Structure 1
Amino acid sequence: MEWIKNMSNVIEYIERHLDREISYEEAASIANNSKYYFQRIFHYVTGLSLSEYIRRRRMSEAALELQRTDIKVLDVALKYGYSSPTAFNRAFKSVHKVSPMSAKKKGVTLISFPPIEFSIKVKGDTPMSYRIEDKPAFRIAGLRLRLTEDMEKNQKIIPDFWNEIVKTKEFSEICLLSEDNPKGVLGVSVYKDPENIFYYIASATKKDVSEKYFVYEIPASTWVIFENDGHFRESVQSVFNRFYTEWLLGSGYMYAELPDIEVYPIKNEKMGEGSTEVWISIKKDEVN
């Protein structure tokens, strides 16, 4: 249950620093993750990006101060890290739907966002089909999209990337490259460093490929593979959420922070019906 303790400690850190600078690096260190993977995990588990959660908490506290004290709006803005009144007004209205000045009035409706609490919940009513495999390093080749550390933005641009690529002849060529496991067309999220975050639409292959395709080698690892019949009944976010909040607990494993892989079946050089999978790298949990 170490991840629950770590995530709870992160929330405590954020609460202590709502009126100060919040370091994403420090938050990630508390969670025992890299900065990128911590933001990824936080979004999957909570459904919010780290920046959005912090913004909501700050605006929730700002609203309380505006209602219960005579503090000036500008002073509240500065307290919560906004040097521009315009930026503070925009952030406040995005949460409460009213201006900071209006929040001082009696009877105005405001939104409260309490701190997130992490706890163990009794689940298991929905089964998860999975298998564990050790796999040597393998090579993928395909097209890629540069991502950002903003998970919400990535979740908007990745579907657009798929819609664009599946209409091209390159997509058919990528499908034909598939020969190695995992077989199928792959959606692969790769993080090397803050300047090199990419999402690949690719195939696992040993074939020589055109220079127009990007090649990346996935390191050898142990993988937990979640299966679905037909197209995904659950979104990748839902699968990852259940991996982290249900499957990982008591499994004796921890997240290995390697590329996450979506596997889609190929039929006649197109994505077709069949078993779809999510591959997540894991390693033995030395704590347990």
Structure 2
Amino acid sequence: MIGTLNSLVDLVELDVGEPLDVDAFARKHATTEYHLRRMFSALAQMPLSEYARRRRMTRAAADLVSGAPSLLDVAVAYGYGSAEAFGRAFRAVHGISPADARERGGPLSTQPMLRFRLSVEGSVPMDVTITTRPAFALAGHAAQVPLLHQGVNPHIQEHIAALAPEEHARLKALSNTEPPGILAVTEGVDPEAPEGSPLTYLHGVAVTDTTPVPEDLDVIALEAGTWAVFSSQGPFPETLQQLWAATATDWFPSNPWRLRPGPSILRYLEFTGTHAACELWLPVERAR
């Protein structure tokens, strides 16, 4: 996977004026566009589309300050149909217009070319179990919250705090299949989603697909499939956030599995507020 991601970075450099055909690239490298975008985002801490845009604007800025014939020539070279559209994209990255960059030479915001490397230094200890589950459902209380990569998400905390104690007891009583107990579920995270993008957070439990669910609860139905279950423990929330990153840096590159679309499920085995032992359930499929 590390080699595939570096080849993808090379493709960004080659096709500066053409839309990236990530689906065709993924098929050529025996993987899926979904898995590739998720791995890129997890490791680069930015979506692939954002990286490609920043690299193109970095190279476009170099062309401008080195004396390109015209703004329109540069715009067309980097895949824009008009100088106006190019100008908006340029300003979004650099904070100044192409004309100002050409006249004054900057200041410019440069996006270095990425190069992925596999390193085990400081890796998060984790145990992994592969399990195949029949169809089941997740039932509970859902809310739209912004995506945050670091620290405690206060929006999730507020959502949980708003639930009455007896509601937690009702959910626990409803749980009747793996993974057991109260679960923290995130769904709807697009591989291209930057930080701050909305996602669905569900505070709920797992039930069989034939379990009657009260009408006041939100439900996420899941098809039968394989899950990778990662176990780890340590300071909260750093351990959980590092665990997710470690699946991308350490586990997926060296194992014949890839992510498939679906929610991520967090099960707390122990939680003190500052320390947590947890399981992270990720939907996977065998890589071809």
Q: Find the aligned partners of 1:171 and 1:90 in 2 and give their Cα distance.
A: 49
Selected match of 1:259 from 227, 246, 262: 262
| In structure 1, distance between residues paired with 2:274 and 2:106 | 52
CA distance in 2, matches of 1:120, 1:73: 40
- What does 1:209-224 correspond to in 2, within 5 Å? 209-212=213-216, 213-224=218-229
Give the equivalent residue in structure 1 for 2:245.
241
Alignment of 1:157-168 (within 5 A): 162=156, 165-166=159-160, 167-168=162-163
Deviation at 1:181, TM superposition (A): 2.4
Q: Which residue of 2 aligns with 1:194?
A: none
**TM superposition shift of 1:282:** 4.6
Structure 1 length as normaliser, TM-score?
0.75
- The offset of 1:145, in angstroms, is 6.3
Separation in 2 of the partners of 1:285 and 1:29?
A: 11
CA distance in 1, matches of 2:154, 2:74: 39
Whether 2:225 is the aligned partner of 1:228: answer no
Shift of 1:84: 4.4
CA contact 1:93–1:100 (8 Å) conserved in 2: yes
Amino-acid identity (%): 22
Cα distance change, pair 214–160 in 1 and its aligned pair in 2 (3 A): farther
Q: 2:107 matched to which residue of 1?
A: 109
Structure 1 Cα separation of the partners of residues 30 and 158 of structure 2: 37
- Deviation of 1:205 (Å): 1.8
Where does 1:42-121 land on structure 2 (aligned, <5 Å)? 42-121=40-119
Quote the residue 1:275 is aligned against.
Answer: 277
Find the aligned partners of 1:141 and 1:48 in 2 and give their Cα distance. Answer: 31
How many equivalent pairs are there?
270
Given that 2:184 and 2:267 are in contact with CA atoms closer than 8 Å, whether structure 1 keeps it comes out as: yes
After superposition, the C-alpha distances for 1:140-193 in whole angstroms (9 at most, x for unaligned) are 22355689xxxxx7559xx586356422459635454334322222314369xx
Contact 2:55 2:112 survives alignment (8 Å): yes
- Larger relative CO (CA 8 A, sep 6+): 1 or 2? 2
1:16: how far off?
Answer: 1.8
In the TM superposition, residue 209 of structure 1 has moved relative to its aligned partner by 0.6
Cα distance, 1:154–1:229 mapped onto 2, change above 3 Å = closer
Task: Find 2:175's aligned residue among 174, 178, 187.
Answer: 178
Larger CA deviation: 97-106 vs 219-228: 219-228
Do the aligned partners of residues 61 and 230 (structure 1) sit closer, same or farther apart at CA in structure 2, a change above 3 Å counting? closer
Q: Judging changes above 3 Å, is the alpha-carbon distance between structure 1 residues 25 and 174 closer, same or farther for their aligned structure 2 residues?
A: farther
2:243 corresponds to which letter in structure 1? V
> Secondary structure, in 3 states, of the residue corresponding to 1:82?
coil
CA distance in 1, matches of 2:274, 2:207: 20
| Deviates most, 164-173 or 16-25 | 164-173
Q: CA deviation at 1:219?
A: 2.3
Contact persistence 2:184–2:265 (CA under 8 A): yes
Q: CA deviation at 1:221?
A: 1.9
One-letter amino acid matched to 1:5: G
Is the contact between residue 136 and residue 221 of structure 1 (CA under 8 Å) also seen in structure 2? yes
1:175–1:185 Cα contact (<8 Å) kept: no
Contact 2:35–2:258 (CA under 8 A) maintained in structure 1: no
Q: Which residue among 99, 122, 127 is the counterpart of 1:125?
A: 122
| CA distance 1:253–1:142, shift in 2 (3 Å) | same
Distance in 2, matches of 1:99 and 1:108, equals: 10
Decide whether the 8 Å contact of 1:24 with 1:35 is kept in 2. yes
Residue 25, structure 1, aligned to residue 23, structure 2: yes
Tell me how far apart the structure 2 counterparts of residues 39 and 155 of structure 1 sit (CA, whole Å). 18
Which residue in 2 is equivalent to 1:203?
205
Instruction: Give the drift of 1:200.
Output: 5.2
Stretch of structure 1 that moved more, 107-116 or 8-17:
107-116
- Unpaired runs of 5+ residues, structure 2, are 190-198
Alpha-carbon RMSD: 3.7
Residues 2-21 of structure 1 mapped to structure 2, 5 A cutoff: 3-21=1-19
Secondary structure class of the residue paired with 1:234: helix
